[in-house]
Amino acid sequence: MTNGIKETVILFLKGCAIGVANIIPGVSGGTLAVVLGVYDRLIESIACFFESPGKRKEYAIFLAKILSGAGISMLFLANVMDFLLTHHFHLTIFAFMGLILGGVPSIWRSHGDMRVKTSRVFVFIAGILIVLGPSLLGFTAIETATFDAPEMLMFDKGRYLTLLFSGFLAGGAMIVPGISGSFVLVLLGQYALIIAAIKGLILTPLIVVGFGAMAGILVFSKIIKVCLERSPAMTYYFILGLVTASFIEIFPGVPRGEHVVLFAVIIFFLGAGASYALSKISGEPA
């Protein structure tokens, strides 16, 4: 296998993992991007795409490899993940917990100076609180209303502005490790609406939230890029806090039955091993 094909396959597989993560409620695709070692490059490609014409082709090729994997996995594995979450919930979640834990060493290796300092500890704790805060405050199931597809055809401009803003925040959350974009939509009361629009194939609401999401991804990626350039160690400590909290947040509890516990432990370590191995393979072009 040539280096170019190898790189494509590796990035495609990492994109698949990120895409599958976005299907799991509460799991952040940004977290998987971090633990698989493509986060920095992903942020740079998005944030600098329009600012660096000389590298635009390189960014486009990289994003195409990652996004094609994510898109294909979300399209073809959605039903599989739905089956696994319905019939093997604990085993599925433990696999993702393993994926998260196995990539933590790659975050620690991302910067040469990761010495423990008081300021860095505070930033680490802040990252944990941002992810766990909503659950600790009881904001886990705000949205209870459902929407019929025809009702969305009668939206006023104010509701579309709300949807645009919600998409902006959800898009930004998608690239922040530890924070689920779908969870943000739930908190803002827009998740059921989006699901209804998808099921009813009503394009206008989806286009509005899509534009908001793209703007959010672009803006937040620029902010994160600046943070990584100016205070890399502090930023990585913050990301470690986000990732640690996401590991805690998705813990489903101890499964019932000794054989289920045994399988959960085995799958957890298999996930951790796979994540650790993938994170050590950079996927950079030779």
| Three-state secondary structure call for residue 25 | coil
Residue 118 is predicted with a pLDDT of 93
Domain boundaries, the chain: 3-280
Q: CA 148: distance to chain centroid?
A: 28
Residue 25 is predicted with a pLDDT of 59
Residue 197 is predicted with a pLDDT of 72
CA distances from 236 to 110, 167, 185, 214, 229 (A): 8, 26, 26, 24, 11
Nearest to 252 by CA among 79, 27, 18: 27
Q: Is the pLDDT of residue 1 over 70?
A: no
Q: What is d(CA 279, CA 35) in angstroms, rounded to the nearest whole number?
A: 6
Q: What is d(CA 280, CA 34) in angstroms, rounded to the nearest whole number?
A: 12
Both structure tokens of 135: 């659950």
pLDDT digits (tens, 9 = 90+) for 48-106: 888 888 888 999 999 999 989 988 887 777 677 778 877 888 888 898 888 888 878 87
Asked whether the CA dihedral 129, 223, 204, 33 is positive or negative, the reply is negative
What average pLDDT does the structure give for the chain?
A: 80
Which of 63-72, 106-115, 214-223 has the weakest average pLDDT?
106-115
Q: What is d(CA 249, CA 259) in angstroms, rounded to the nearest whole number?
A: 24
pLDDT digits (tens, 9 = 90+) for 242-271: 888 878 877 888 888 888 899 999 999 998
Return the CA Rg of the chain. 19
Average pLDDT of span 109-127: 89
pLDDT digits (tens, 9 = 90+) for 164-205: 888 898 888 778 776 777 767 766 777 767 767 766 777 788
Residue 143 is predicted with a pLDDT of 43
If one compares 141 and 189, the residue with the highest pLDDT of the two is 189
DSSP track, 72-98: HHHHHHHHHHHHHHHHSHHHHHHHHHH
Q: Rounded to two decimals, what is the model's pTM?
A: 0.70
Average pLDDT of span 202-222: 87
pLDDT digits (tens, 9 = 90+) for 224-241: 889 888 898 998 899 888
Q: Is the pLDDT of residue 283 over 50?
A: no
Residue 40 is predicted with a pLDDT of 87
How many helices (H) and strands (E) are present in the chain, helices listed first? 13, 0
Q: What is d(CA 243, CA 241) in angstroms, rounded to the nearest whole number?
A: 5
Q: What is d(CA 276, CA 274) in angstroms, rounded to the nearest whole number?
A: 6
**CB-CB contact of 147 with 186 (8 Å):** no
Which residues, in sequence order, are CB contacts of 255 under 8 Å at separation 6+? 90, 91, 261, 264
User: What kind and span of H or E run contains 239?
Assistant: helix 232-249
Residue 66 is predicted with a pLDDT of 92
